[in-house]
Amino acid sequence: MNVLKNATWVFLLAGILSSCSNSATKEKVQPNFVIIMADDLGFGGLASYGDPRLRTPNIDYLAAKGIRFTDFHSNAPVCSPTRAALLTGNYQQRAGLEGVIYVRGETREVGLDSSQVSIAKLLKTAGYATGIMGKWHLGYQKEYNPVYHGFDTFYGYLSGNVDYHSHYDNAGIYDWWHNLDSIYEEGYATDLISAHAVDFINENKEKPFFLYVSHEAPHVPFQGRNNPAYRFPGKKFSYHGPVEDTVKVYNEMVEVMDEGVGEILNALRKNGIEENTLVLFISDNGAEIFGNNGKLSGQKGNLLEGGHRVPGIAYWKGKITPRESSATVLSMDVLPTLLAMSQDSYSEKLQFDGVDLSKHLLHNKSIEDRDLFWRYRNQKVARHKEWKLLLSDKDTLLINLNKDVLELHNLSKERPEIVKDLLKKLEDWEKEVGPVTAMKTI
């Protein structure tokens, strides 16, 4: 397994990284990177992934003109762990973030430690402008702020969700920031995130940039542009919001996010940099009950496919050939992929759990088979090729995903030798990343 044992050592290479970056930028034009992450968007939650109720022409354009992945997975079935894996390129267990960082309780004091390597730190060292617009959810305390993880610019919120209009979180705490400062900014959260993303592109069009657009939509609370704010300090309020027609508002939330994707694409075109920009559209986990996971079993919070198989799209005009890909890809693969595409020689010196997908994206090269793992609360998964072993307190499931992606047929008794092999792989992986702890699984 390709592993970064200790993330902190990477900073010993700072001098090497800087020199490599300077020489590379003089010789080559480095591509821009835009990651757009939806929140709680399930596998079937887009028109291009089978939902005829939704009008998502801009995201569907990316899917039609780029690569539409059918086996893309979030590293976890919930928010914080997936985001940790995305930014570090490693299993989130290595960063000690296996569960959700809640706005209340002991997890409010924890977060992604600034000693961890991050995609923004590495690209910033390579000469990139770096920005995150939207949801952070990797720590509430000042020391965990995005600016300490390599981001030059941060507009958004720290918690898991905010009122889309008043910007108060689920504990009634105001949560809207510019870098380290709490700011008042009027507007619908999705529109603000998209607007700041466009501003970032316009301001950094003359240099390579990495832009992480971390949308709240379509995570609860259910609020459209014209629904009233309902979260305020000192008042009681529901988690999901007061809206009665949740399906209608949910669809609107996705469609407004799609409008923002169109605005980002237009900004790239107007600035003449669309052909030098890789755009990735992904989700942090599967949908809750009000969303759409297609025909998959399970939902957000569990390790059936509906909890972590999500939309994944890669678009790069003139560089990526439009197609569908059945390659198995995880959130943690993004960092090594962008690092390789940034054209700096030092990328080969670093090791991650994630793998470089650049040759698959640009040249349709196959991705080498690998063992993959998930762990959340009392659930564990080991996967090798088409075989998926799912352990829980209730059962042991062995699924052949090539024949049974809906996970209806348990083959554990028919193929005990495969169960034994995957159990051993899972045991070895857990020895490497560490055991489950109470803090990790909250």
Mean pLDDT rounded to a whole number for the chain = 93
Q: Are residues 211 and 128 in the same domain?
A: yes
Q: Which of 20, 79, 149, 215 is catalytic?
A: 79
Q: How many CB atoms lie within 10 A of CB 404?
A: 15
pLDDT for 5 equals 40
Residue 25: φ, ψ to 5°: -70, -25
Residue 412 exposure: Cα atoms within 13 Å on the Cβ side: 15
What CA dihedral angle connects 331, 7, 337 and 141, to 10 degrees? 50
Domain boundary among 313, 342, 368: 368
- For 314, the token pair is 């890669």
Q: Are residues 344 and 436 in the same domain?
A: no
Q: What is the CA radius of gyration of the chain?
A: 21
Q: Over the stretch 72-95, which tens digit does the pLDDT of each residue have?
A: 999 999 999 999 999 999 999 999
**CA-based nearest residue to 65, from 338, 277, 314:** 314
Question: What total of structural domains would you count in the chain?
Answer: 2
Does residue 2 fall inside a structural domain?
A: no
- Asked if residue 12 has pLDDT above 90, the reply is no
Q: Are residues 295 and 406 in the same domain?
A: no
Does residue 145 fall inside a structural domain?
A: yes
Q: Which of 20, 73, 137, 360 is catalytic?
A: 137
Domain span holding position 362: 30-368
Active site residue 20: no
Q: Are residues 359 and 407 in the same domain?
A: no
Q: Distance (Å, rounded) from C-alpha 280 to C-alpha 325?
A: 14
Binned at pLDDT 50, 70 and 90, residue 413 comes out as very high
Does residue 15 fall inside a structural domain?
A: no
Q: Are residues 109 and 211 in the same domain?
A: yes
**E strand or H helix at 178, and its extent?**
strand 177-178
pLDDT for 271 equals 99
- Asked if residue 308 has pLDDT above 80, the reply is yes
- Asked if residue 46 has pLDDT above 70, the reply is yes
Q: Are residues 266 and 348 in the same domain?
A: yes
Q: Are residues 436 and 342 in the same domain?
A: no
Q: Are residues 301 and 412 in the same domain?
A: no
Q: Are residues 275 and 384 in the same domain?
A: no
Domain boundary among 341, 368, 395: 368
Q: Are residues 395 and 284 in the same domain?
A: no
**Who's near 356: CB < 8 A, 6+ residues apart?**
333, 336, 337, 339, 340, 347
Q: Distance (Å, rounded) from C-alpha 389 to C-alpha 383?
A: 6
Does residue 335 fall inside a structural domain?
A: yes
Q: Over the stretch 160-204, which tens digit does the pLDDT of each residue have?
A: 999 999 999 999 999 999 999 999 999 999 999 999 999 999 999
Q: Are residues 382 and 359 in the same domain?
A: no
- Predicted TM-score (pTM) of this structure: 0.93
Active site residue 79: yes
Q: Are residues 133 and 200 in the same domain?
A: yes
**CATH number of the domain enclosing 386:** 3.30.1120.10
Strands (E), 277-434: 277-283, 312-315, 323-325, 329-330, 371-376, 379-384, 387-391, 396-400
The CA–CA distances, whole Å, from 40 to 128, 255, 424 equal 29, 14, 32
pLDDT for 11 equals 41
Q: Distance (Å, rounded) from C-alpha 213 to C-alpha 154?
A: 10
Domain boundary among 331, 349, 368: 368
Residue 80 exposure: Cα atoms within 13 Å on the Cβ side: 29
